[in-house]
Amino acid sequence: SRQSVYLSHFPDGTSTHTIAHYSQIASGNEIRHFQKGLLGDFTTLDTVLYNYSNIDVPIYVFWSRNDWVTPRDEIHKAVLPRLRTGVVRATIEVPHYNHLDFIVATDNSEHVYSVITEIIGGRE
């Protein structure tokens, strides 16, 4: 696995605000707008939820049971129910992927990009 190589530089290039936002998401169990707080208090959870019902374009959700950032339950209980009926055209599981694999896996062409190409080409 090349995972250790990619993660060895983490969080280089990541801002304090990004880490604080991830912390807010993890501790709030919901996806909210980032809230810095009046005095730089990054622990504030009194923020606005994203309004997924405003999304009106087709969505294809790629996910994996091994994703440590966005687990299956979060997708199926927190994200998908908040979307308009009919917007989600498909949920596509890539069983062996973790969160980072969706970006750096050497077989992305087979498991992700070729599926996207088929969707775009109208051959769902």
Average pLDDT over residues 38-55: 67
Please, which residues bridge with residue 90 across strands? 60
The model carries a pTM of 0.68
Distance CA 118, CA 110 (A): 11
Give the tens place of pLDDT for each residue, 64-103: 999 888 888 888 888 888 899 999 999 999 989 998 888 8
Could you tell me what percent of the chain has a pLDDT over 90? 31
* Amino acid identity at 72: R
Radius of gyration of the chain from its Cα atoms, rounded to whole angstroms? 17
Distance CA 28, CA 62 (A): 23
